[in-house]
Amino acid sequence: MAGKKNPWGGAGKGEGDGDTPETGESDPGKSGGPRNPWLPGGGSDNGKRRSASIEDIFKNRGPEGPRRSGGGPRGPSFRLPERPGGKSWVPVIAVGVVLLWAGLTSVHFVQPREQGVVTWFGGQYSRTLNSGTNFTLPWPIQQVTVELVSQIRSETVPSGNTEKLILTGDQNLVDLSYLIRWNISDLALYQYQLEDPQDTLLEVGEAAMRAAVAKQELDTVLTGAGRAEIEQEVRDRMQARLDAYRSGIAVQGIEINKTDPPSRVEEAFKDVSSAQQDADAAMNRSRAIAEQLLARAQGDAAEFNNIYEQYRLAPEVTRRRLYYETMESVLSRTDKTIIEADGVTPYLPLNEMQRRRNQPQAATPAQPEGQ
C-alpha cells in the first residue's frame, strides 16, 4: 500500500536498496539506484532501478495506474458515484448547464416603471417587454436591455451653483436656473433614434429657455409674473422639438428655480427695494406729523369753543377773569419794577435783577404789594 501511495510508484521498489548504501555497504553492483539524484552517472547501467521516468508517471496516472484503483477514503479528489449502466456523466452535466443557461437568460422579471427592449443577436429589434415576467429566447439569440421608463427623471440646469446669465428681451441679463422633468415615452425610439438623448434634451431645453426668456422683459422675469408663461412655453417648445426628432422623450414639466439679477449688479437691485422702504418711511413720518397737527388743531379749537361758550354767557366777567388770571400767573413768576409817577426817570436795578436771577429761591416770593 505504501508503494502505491507514493506518486513516484516506479521508484518505490528501490526504496530498500536505496537505503543500504548509506548504512555502509558500498557495493556498487548491488545498489544501482542513485544516492544523489544530481549525479546521474552511478546507477544508470540498470534501467529498472532508475528514478521515475516521464513514461512511468504517465503510466501510473493513466486508467490502469494506482490512482484509478486506489482512491480509498483519503483519495485526493471527489468522485461521482457510478452511473447505472456505467455511462459517463459528461452529457448529463452538459445538458444541465445548457438548461440552466437557457433558464437564466430567457426569463426576465421586468420591474414596475421599467421596460425592456428585445433584440436578435444584439441587432434587429424584436419587441418591447412590459413590466412583469417575460420570456425570450436564450442569450445570445435574444438580448434584453432594461431601462426605467415611467419613472420621472429630473435634470437641473445649470448643474452646480454657477451663474447662468440669459439675455432678456430688453437686453438685460438675468441669472436663471431651472429643472427639466422628463421620462421615456417610447423605449425603442429612445434607444435607437438619438445618438445621445440626454444631451439632446439639455440642448433643446437650453435653446427653448433662452428663446422664451428673450421674449420677456427683465422685470417680468424677476418678479415671477412671467414665470408660468415661460415654463409653459419652454415645455411646449421642447416637446415639439423632441417630437420632431422622434426622440421617445416626454417632457413632464419645467420648473424655474430662481431668477436673480446678476451678482455684479445685485447691489443696485437691492437699492431699489431699499429706496421703496425709504419712501414708505418718509411718508410714515409725515403721516405722524400730520396726525399731530390735526390733533393739536382739534384740541385748540375745542378749548376755544368751550371758553367761548362761557364768554358768550357773560362776556365782560369772563374777559376780566381771564385777564386777571393770566396776569396773576405771569406776574407772580417774574421780577417786577413798577414806575409810579409820570415823568420820573426810573432807575432800573439791572444788576440786582441779575443777582436775583442767580438765586431762583429769592426771585419767586416777591409780591407786587411787598415792593
Site for other proteins in 72-101 (CB under 8 A): 88, 90
b/e string for 222-244 if b means 16 or more Cβ within 10 A?
A: beeebbeebbebbbebbbebbee
Q: What part of residues 186-205 is at the interface with other proteins (CB under 8 A)?
A: 188, 191-196, 199-200, 203-204
Q: What part of residues 98-117 is at the interface with other proteins (CB under 8 A)?
A: none
Q: Rule CB under 8 A: choose which of 241, 254, 256, 259 binds other proteins.
A: 241
Strand-by-strand arrangement of the 114-120 sheet: 124-129, 114-120, 142-148
Q: Rule CB under 8 A: choose which of 39, 104, 214, 317 binds other proteins.
A: 214
Shortest spacing between CB 180 and other proteins, in angstroms: 14
Pairwise CA distance, residues 362 & 371, whole Å: 14
Binding-site size, other proteins (CB under 8 A): 104
Shortest spacing between CB 18 and other proteins, in angstroms: 35
Q: What part of residues 310-349 is at the interface with other proteins (CB under 8 A)?
A: 311, 315, 319, 322-323, 326-327, 329-331, 333-342, 346, 348
Q: How many CB atoms lie within 10 A of CB 21?
A: 18
In sequence order, the β-bridge partners of residue 134 are 108
Residue (59 or 356) nearer to other proteins, CB:
356
Q: What part of residues 267-286 is at the interface with other proteins (CB under 8 A)?
A: 268-269, 271-272, 274-276, 278-283, 285-286
Residue (54 or 268) nearer to other proteins, CB:
268
Pairwise CA distance, residues 152 & 47, whole Å: 83
Residues in the chain, total: 371
Shortest spacing between CB 329 and other proteins, in angstroms: 6
Q: Rule CB under 8 A: choose which of 185, 206, 239, 251 binds other proteins.
A: 206
Contact 175, 165 (CB under 8 A): yes
Residue (97 or 282) nearer to other proteins, CB:
282
How remote is the C-alpha of 147 from its chain's centroid? 23
Q: How many CB atoms lie within 10 A of CB 11?
A: 18
Where does residue 15 fall: left (phi above 0), alpha (psi -120 to 50 degrees), or beta otherwise?
Answer: alpha
Stretch that binds other proteins, among 29-37, 43-51, 97-105, 165-173 (CB under 8 A): 165-173
Shortest spacing between CB 64 and other proteins, in angstroms: 13
Residue (5 or 321) nearer to other proteins, CB:
321
Shortest spacing between CB 6 and other proteins, in angstroms: 25
Residue (35 or 246) nearer to other proteins, CB:
246
What x-and-dash track marks residues 284-303 binding other proteins by CB under 8 A? -xxx-xxx-xx-xxx-xxx-
For the CA atoms of 206, 208, 210, 211, the dihedral, rounded to the nearest 10 degrees, stands at 160
Pairwise CA distance, residues 215 & 183, whole Å: 28
Q: Rule CB under 8 A: choose which of 171, 345, 351, 367 binds other proteins.
A: 171
Q: Helix, strand or coil for residue 39?
A: coil
In sequence order, the β-bridge partners of residue 117 are 128, 145
- CA atoms lying within 13 Å on the CB side of residue 260: 16
Shortest spacing between CB 302 and other proteins, in angstroms: 8
